[in-house]
């Protein structure tokens, strides 16, 4: 069986989509509706990052300019040394004594010139290194702040691996470009201007001959860079996709192994990696043509300088020292142009990364906070009045939803997968904004409250646990800033987790691995419940919080929850209907609509959707109990 035939249909579909995008990049085609890249806009933003560091950049520019100016003197002195040596040789042939004093003075002056240039280069690189690190620091700070204000829909649509690639890989590439390419650009420009002036001073005719190489080389460079820019953008997009795949496969490696999908994962990785390697090779090859091309035209210029310069020397229009100085000037004039061609590779790659980073920084943020109202001590009443919501405009999910929850009530939310249960909670927490209607807490529209104030009212325990690398004490204390040891211990006792912690060698000081990988799923759930208990919220949201613990532990937690829930409003999203029999009100949600509501017994008596859902879970067990 061929490798591609082992891929399941979904992986095949993804592969074909990647191949189509890949062919678009290779063939220069655009996807339908895709806009042209704003290269000028990206370059403007890219170089505007230097504006806050005007003083440092002034030092960089001045040191480069002075260094270039001193380097201009070098070839002139070198020509004088050659002429001086030639004159002394002629004096020797005529029988006169040789005076090396002038030659020695010129050599010392030459040494001083190049020594000064080296010192100025050091100052330039040292200053630019400081500017680069400040820019990188600022970019990472901006991205960190940006990620904290982006809506939940952004993270739903973008893989964590691609976001991580922008924060790490793309910014590192920008850093390398600023550190090396910017200095090369500045130095090359100033040097080229200075050397051009030196060439013009010696011979305008040879200068025109040398300049003849520029038009064809620049036109070819422009053509190459336009094509390579697309390849670099595609390369870094594919890098983000590869990081996303690795992150996905690593976090779910147990599932991959359980279902025997190792080969599929390897095939998909190989597919993305092959395309990335090919794109990278093409991008580097195409952009790498610029350097050799400039080298070729540079060699042509040197040949013409040698031929015509030799003719001028023979004709008495120039001295041997003059042609030596001009040749050195021409070498130093063409060298920065060649350098500019070589760094085009890095600059195109860096601009592609900058476009991705700026794109992230320009993502639409959450709507600004309205600080009209602030709740000091929440009572816990919640109302949904004619609420409409949809993830996409053409597919409405929730329409005309009305809920009235009194303080201290236990509200259970049940229904089939995809019915809108978790969406309801996301709206309540303002992770998403409603399309129409209002949601209010204690009679206050939540859109008129700061999000930080609103979310401080809630405590959440999700089905998917989240723990960070740190001690158990630190993970529990995350629920309340400045929590005391007594409060942490009380929360652990209430969650029935103290015994498990004390069995560990380091107790509360046991260090958890990332996401609590060194303890069981049930134990992780217990710790997140303890964290929520410590937070002491006015409104508690439990999204199948006991789904990962055994039956005995579940009963213990439910006992602890009963005391915790007193005096609080509680929303429980439940799939195991045995956990919600005592709820004050059960909301049955399907297709974004509340189709039934009431107490457990009332809904069973109606023999509707809830009764059917309940019997589907417990009918089998009842049949077994009755001796089926």
Q: Which residues contact 359 (CB under 8 A, 6 or more apart)?
A: none
Angstrom distance (rounded) from CA 337 to CA 334 = 5
458-461 and 539-543 strand pairing: parallel
Mean pLDDT in residue range 109-122: 82
Which one has a higher pLDDT value, 237 or 17? 237
Q: Which residues contact 580 (CB under 8 A, 6 or more apart)?
A: 412, 414, 572, 574, 586, 600
Tokens of 209: 């001959």
Tokens of 439: 């949601």
Per-residue pLDDT of 406-444, as tens digits, reads: 888 888 888 887 777 888 888 888 888 888 999 999 999
Per-residue pLDDT of 464-499, as tens digits, reads: 777 878 888 888 888 888 888 888 898 888 877 888
Q: How far apart are the first and last CA of the chain?
A: 47
Across 6-10, 36-40, 174-178, least confident range: 6-10
Average pLDDT, the chain: 77
pLDDT grade, residue 385 (50/70/90)? very high
List alpha helices for 99-181, DSSP H: 101-149, 152-157, 160-165, 171-176
Q: Judge contact between 593 and 397, C-beta under 8 A.
A: no
Tokens of 142: 């901006």
pLDDT at site 213 = 73
Angstrom distance (rounded) from CA 572 to CA 102 = 95
Across 50-54, 339-343, 445-449, least confident range: 339-343
Per-residue pLDDT of 149-164, as tens digits, reads: 888 888 878 877 778 8
Does 106 have pLDDT greater than 60?
Answer: yes
Does 346 have pLDDT greater than 80?
Answer: no
Which one has a higher pLDDT value, 625 or 523? 523
pTM above the 0.85 mark? no
Name, of 18-27, 437-446, 612-621, the range with top average pLDDT: 437-446
Q: Judge contact between 166 and 360, C-beta under 8 A.
A: yes
pLDDT at site 470 = 84
Tokens of 40: 């000028």
Q: Judge contact between 532 and 459, C-beta under 8 A.
A: yes
High-pLDDT (> 70) share of the chain, %: 76
pLDDT at site 445 = 92
627: left (phi over 0), alpha (psi -120 to 50) or beta: left
Does 628 have pLDDT greater than 70?
Answer: no
Q: Which residues contact 47 (CB under 8 A, 6 or more apart)?
A: none
pLDDT at site 92 = 60
Which one has a higher pLDDT value, 251 or 66? 66
DSSP state at residue 302: H
Per-residue pLDDT of 176-201, as tens digits, reads: 888 777 777 777 777 777 778 878 88
Q: Is 85 exposed, middle or buried (0-12, 13-18, 19+ CB in 10 A)?
A: middle
Mean pLDDT in residue range 65-85: 72
pLDDT grade, residue 227 (50/70/90)? low
Angstrom distance (rounded) from CA 269 to CA 179 = 33
What is the SS3 assignment for 206-260? HHHHHHCCHHHHHHHHHHHHHHHHHHHHHHHHHHHHHHHHHHHHHHCHHHHHHCC
Does 509 have pLDDT greater than 60?
Answer: yes
- β-sheet with 395-405: strand ranges across: 395-405, 382-392, 436-441, 444-445
Buried b (16+ CB within 10 A) or exposed e, 441-458: bbebebbebebebbbebb
Which one has a higher pLDDT value, 262 or 134? 134
């Amino acid at each position: 069986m061929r490798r591609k035939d082992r891929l399941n249909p979904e992986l095949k579909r993804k592969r074909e989509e990647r191949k189509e995008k890949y062919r678009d990049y290779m063939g220069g085609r655009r996807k339908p509706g895709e806009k042209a890249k704003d290269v000028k806009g990206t370059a403007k933003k890219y170089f505007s990052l230097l504006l806050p560091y005007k003083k440092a950049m002034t030092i960089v520019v001045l040191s480069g300019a002075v260094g270039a100016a001193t380097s201009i003197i070098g070839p002139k002195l070198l020509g004088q040394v050659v002429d001086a040596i030639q004159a002394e040789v002629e004096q020797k042939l005529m029988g006169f004594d040789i005076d090396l004093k002038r030659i020695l003075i010129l050599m010392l002056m030459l040494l001083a010139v190049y020594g000064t240039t080296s010192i100025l280069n050091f100052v330039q690189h040292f200053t630019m290194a400081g500017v680069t690190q400040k820019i990188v620091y600022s970019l990472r700070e901006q991205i960190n702040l940006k990620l904290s204000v982006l809506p939940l829909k952004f993270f739903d649509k973008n893989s964590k691996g691609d976001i991580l690639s922008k924060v790490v890989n793309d910014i590192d590439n920008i850093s390398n470009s600023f550190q090396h390419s910017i200095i090369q650009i500045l130095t090359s420009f100033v040097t080229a201007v200075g050397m051009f002036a030196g060439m013009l001073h010696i011979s305008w005719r040879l200068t025109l001959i040398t300049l003849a190489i520029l038009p064809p080389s620049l036109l070819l460079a422009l053509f190459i860079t336009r094509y390579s820019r697309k390849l670099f953008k595609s390369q870094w997009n594919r890098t983000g996709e590869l990081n996303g795949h690795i992150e996905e496969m690593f976090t779910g490696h147990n599932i991959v192994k359980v279902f025997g999908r190792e080969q599929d994962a390897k095939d998909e990785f190989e597919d993305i990696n092959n395309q990335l390697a090919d794109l990278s090779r093409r991008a580097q090859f195409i952009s790498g043509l610029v350097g050799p091309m400039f080298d070729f035209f540079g060699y042509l210029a040197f040949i013409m300088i040698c031929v015509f310069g030799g003719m001028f020397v023979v004709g008495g229009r120039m001295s041997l020292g003059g042609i030596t100085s001009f040749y050195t000037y021409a070498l130093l004039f063409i060298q920065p142009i060649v350098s500019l061609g070589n760094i085009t590779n890095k600059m195109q790659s860096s601009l592609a990364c900058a476009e991705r980073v700026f794109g992230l920084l320009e993502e639409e943020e959450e709507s600004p906070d309205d600080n009209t109202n602030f709740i000091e001590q929440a009572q816990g009443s919640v109302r949904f009045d004619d609420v409409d919501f949809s993830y996409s405009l053409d597919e409405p999910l929730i329409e005309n939803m009305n809920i009235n929850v009194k303080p201290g009530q236990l509200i259970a939310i049940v229904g089939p997968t995809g019915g809108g249960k978790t969406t309801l909670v996301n709206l309540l927490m303002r992770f998403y904004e409603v399309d129409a209607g209002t949601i209010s807490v204690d009679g206050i529209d939540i859109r008129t409250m700061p999000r930080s104030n609103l979310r401080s009212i809630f405590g959440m325990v999700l089905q998917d646990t989240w723990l960070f690398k740190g001690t158990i004490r630190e993970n529990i204390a995350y629920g309340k800033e400045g929590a005391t040891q007594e409060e942490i211990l009380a929360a652990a006792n209430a969650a029935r987790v103290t015994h498990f912690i004390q069995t560990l060698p380091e107790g509360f000081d046991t260090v958890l691995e990332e996401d609590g990988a060194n303890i069981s799923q049930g134990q992780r759930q217990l710790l997140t419940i303890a964290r929520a208990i410590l937070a002491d919220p006015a409104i508690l949201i439990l999204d199948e919080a006991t789904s990962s613990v055994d039956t005995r532990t579940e009963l213990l937690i439910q006992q602890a929850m009963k005391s915790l829930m007193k005096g609080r409003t509680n929303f429980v999203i439940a799939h195991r209907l045995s956990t919600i029999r005592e709820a004050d009100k059960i909301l049955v949600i399907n297709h974004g609509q509340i189709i039934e509501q009431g107490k457990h017994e009332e809904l069973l008596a109606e023999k509707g959707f809830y009764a059917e859902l309940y019997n589907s879970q417990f009918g089998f067990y009842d049949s077994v109990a009755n001796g089926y």
